[in-house]
């Protein structure tokens, strides 16, 4: 059972019931010792409240967008951020989240734990304001959205796409998870102060999320552009697998098990759905193949000749592809309940969207990805192989969409004639 599935209060109750049976009673303390520790807990709680006030959000008076040309001389700030400040925050928060790792909780040895907490708080009071200051110096104005940036091909690590997502990952994700960690630790301290049991489940989860968000920010700052592309392609292809599985389930007896359907699909609807299976599989294959080829390369160039708008297109368009596949799946799921003319029209429209997106993808891959993945001077056979594979894939996809369109026309005609 993971912490993130339930509300915080329910988690504390479940954890309490689970651990109370095997909990070793804390050692009895003298009244003076207890009083001293309670006083110390008040100070520590106050420091957590102070830490919660550090805010990575944009200053309220920030409205204008930054000129990327003016950011390029600030490379030293970027290096300080991803090589010094962010790793330091990660280390301190990991220590903090790991203090209460096991059922022997804060009440078992509060004195030593309080000492470590105070040290970590002092370090964070130094590092967090330095990080905020560096972030605001590096990005004194808002970063423009990357979708309209067409002239930053030569900016390398200062391309708008990279800076936009780096800034957002810190100001949004990291900011949120830091506040969560400090809030949960504050609750533990308050519980200790009032003599209640303390349970660290949510503290550990917040620590994991901080670690993930910082590592993500560092990857954004340092990773090659191709690694960005492989990452979001791999993430989305998992969703393609799910949509294909659900489509196949809709066309068989599994359809009756989801509780929303009272009858199996009619044979014409199944035939229509079957025509879409190759489209789903080829869409998945397109990204799986390129990800496998990219994953086999141990070293790739850090930067491509793509602009941020092209980079953004590769990122956003795979979401559009998934959205079209989702609509196609739903069209089959509801094929016997919706006007067949509407079903046919929707399917044809989404197939056209997929065709146009993949055509644009093919162009960008030829121009920017393959030359970086397989430089002509080093691996010409590999580049020729992938280009030939893409041509064959395009032919297969064109046939699959043509067959699906014909099936939708047949579905509409058979429904009208009956």
pLDDT digits (tens, 9 = 90+) for 318-334: 999 999 999 999 999 99
Most confident residue range from 165-174, 224-233, 376-385, 393-402: 393-402
Residue 346: the pLDDT is 96
Query: For residue 366, what is the DSSP state?
Result: I
- Pick from 23-32, 75-84, 129-138, 192-201: least confident: 23-32
Helix (H) or strand (E) holding 325: helix 308-333
Residue 132: the pLDDT is 95
391-408 pLDDT, tens digit per residue, is 999 999 999 999 999 999
Nearest to 158 by CA among 174, 136, 139: 139
Q: b/e map of 157-168 (b: 16 or more CB within 10 Å)? A: bbbbbbbbbbbe
Round to whole Å and give the CA distance between 15 and 9: 10
Residue 88: the pLDDT is 97
pLDDT exceeds 60 at position 27: no
- Pick from 8-22, 44-58, 65-79: least confident: 8-22
**What is the percent of the chain with per-residue pLDDT over 90, rounded to a whole number?**
44
Distance of CA 343 to the CA centre of its chain: 33
pLDDT exceeds 90 at position 6: no
Residue 111: the pLDDT is 82
Nearest to 210 by CA among 231, 182, 190: 182
Residue 50: the pLDDT is 96
User: Which distant-in-sequence residues (6+ apart) come within 8 Å of 92 by Cβ?
Assistant: 120, 123, 124, 127
Residue 307: the pLDDT is 92
Q: Are 236 and 52 in contact (CB under 8 A)?
A: no
pLDDT band at 1 (very low <50, low <70, confident <90, very high): very low
Q: Are 361 and 298 in contact (CB under 8 A)?
A: no
Residue 230: the pLDDT is 83
Q: Are 333 and 251 in contact (CB under 8 A)?
A: no
Q: Are 54 and 183 in contact (CB under 8 A)?
A: no
pLDDT exceeds 80 at position 417: no
Please provide the distance, in angstroms rounded to a whole number, between the alpha carbons at the two ends of the chain. Answer: 52
Residue 415: the pLDDT is 67
Q: Are 162 and 220 in contact (CB under 8 A)?
A: yes
pLDDT exceeds 80 at position 13: no
pLDDT exceeds 60 at position 15: no
Nearest to 349 by CA among 320, 311, 373: 320
CA angle, 144 then 149 then 151, to 5°: 135
Higher pLDDT, 39 or 4: 39
Query: Mind listing the domains of the chain with CATH numbers?
Result: 3-16+30-222 (1.20.1420), 226-417 (1.20.1410)
Round to whole Å and give the CA distance between 104 and 23: 7
- Reported for 290-297, long-range contacts at CB under 8 A and 24+ positions apart, including other chains, are 290/230, 290/233, 290/365, 290/369, 290/386, 291/230, 291/233, 291/234, 291/237, 293/373, 293/386, 294/226, 294/227, 294/229, 294/230, 294/373, 295/230, 297/373
344-359 pLDDT, tens digit per residue, is 999 999 999 999 999 9
Could you tell me the sign of the dihedral formed by the alpha carbons of 140, 156, 238, 324, in that order? positive
Nearest to 266 by CA among 414, 139, 59: 414
Q: Are 328 and 276 in contact (CB under 8 A)?
A: yes
Residue 295: the pLDDT is 66
309 HSE (CA, 13 A, CB side): 7
- Pick from 2-16, 171-185, 289-303, 378-392: least confident: 2-16
pLDDT exceeds 50 at position 10: no
Q: Are 327 and 279 in contact (CB under 8 A)?
A: no
pLDDT band at 274 (very low <50, low <70, confident <90, very high): very high
pLDDT band at 215 (very low <50, low <70, confident <90, very high): very high
Q: b/e map of 225-244 (b: 16 or more CB within 10 Å)? A: bbebbbbebeebbebbeebb
Round to whole Å and give the CA distance between 43 and 193: 11
Q: Are 329 and 247 in contact (CB under 8 A)?
A: yes
Average pLDDT over residues 54-77: 70
Nearest to 186 by CA among 117, 108, 86: 117
Most distant CA pair in the chain: distance in Å? 91
pLDDT exceeds 60 at position 62: no
**Rg, the chain, Cα only:** 28
Residue 61: the pLDDT is 60
Q: b/e map of 292-307 (b: 16 or more CB within 10 Å)? A: ebbeebeebeebbebb
SS3 call for 140: coil
Q: Are 87 and 219 in contact (CB under 8 A)?
A: no
Residue 193: the pLDDT is 75
Whole-model pTM: value is 0.76
289 HSE (CA, 13 A, CB side): 16
Average pLDDT of the chain to the nearest whole number:
83
87-131 pLDDT, tens digit per residue, is 999 999 999 988 876 444 555 677 888 899 999 999 999 999 999
Q: Are 56 and 132 in contact (CB under 8 A)?
A: yes
């Amino acid at each position: 059972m993971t912490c993130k599935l339930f509300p915080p209060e329910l988690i504390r109750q479940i954890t309490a019931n689970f651990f109370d049976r095997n909990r070793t009673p804390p050692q009895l303390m003298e009244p003076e010792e207890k009083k001293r520790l309670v006083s110390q807990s008040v100070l520590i709680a106050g420091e957590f409240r102070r830490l919660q006030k550090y805010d990575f959000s944009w200053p309220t008076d920030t409205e204008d967008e930054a000129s990327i040309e003016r950011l390029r001389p600030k490379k030293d700030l970027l290096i300080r951020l991803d090589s010094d400040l962010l790793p330091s925050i990660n280390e301190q928060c990991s220590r903090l989240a790991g203090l209460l790792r096991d059922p022997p909780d804060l009440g078992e040895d509060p004195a030593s734990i309080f000492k470590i907490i105070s040290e970590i708080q002092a370090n964070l009071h130094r590092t967090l304001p330095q990080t905020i200051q560096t972030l605001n110096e590096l990005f004194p104005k808002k970063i423009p959205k990357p979708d309209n940036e067409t002239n930053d091909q030569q900016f390398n690590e200062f391309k708008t796409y990279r800076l936009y997502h780096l800034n957002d990952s810190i100001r949004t994700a990291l900011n949120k998870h830091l506040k969560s960690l400090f809030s949960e630790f504050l609750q533990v301290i308050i519980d200790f102060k009032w003599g209640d049991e303390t349970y660290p489940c949510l503290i550990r989860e917040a620590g994991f999320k901080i670690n993930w968000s910082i590592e993500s920010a560092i990857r954004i700052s340092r990773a090659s552009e191709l690694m960005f592309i492989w990452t979001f392609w791999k993430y989305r292809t998992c969703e393609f697998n799910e949509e294909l599985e659900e489509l196949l389930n809709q066309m068989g007896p599994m359809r009756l098990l989801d509780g929303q359907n009272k009858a199996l699909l009619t044979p014409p609807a199944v035939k229509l759905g079957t025509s879409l299976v190759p489209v789903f599989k080829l869409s998945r294959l397109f990204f799986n193949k390129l990800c496998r080829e990219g994953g086999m390369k141990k070293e790739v160039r850090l930067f491509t000749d793509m602009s941020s708008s092209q980079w953004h297109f590769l990122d956003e368009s795979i979401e559009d592809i998934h959205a079209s596949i989702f609509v196609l799946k739903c069209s089959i799921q509801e094929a016997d309940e919706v006007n067949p003319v509407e079903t046919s029209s929707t399917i044809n429209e989404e197939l056209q969207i997929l065709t146009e997106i993949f055509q644009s993808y093919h162009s960008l891959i030829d121009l920017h990805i393959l030359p970086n993945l397989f430089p002509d001077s080093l691996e010409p056979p590999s580049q020729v192989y992938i280009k030939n594979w893409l041509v064959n894939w395009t032919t297969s996809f064109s046939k699959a969409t043509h067959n699906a369109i014909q099936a939708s026309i047949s579905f509409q005609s058979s429904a009208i004639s009956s």
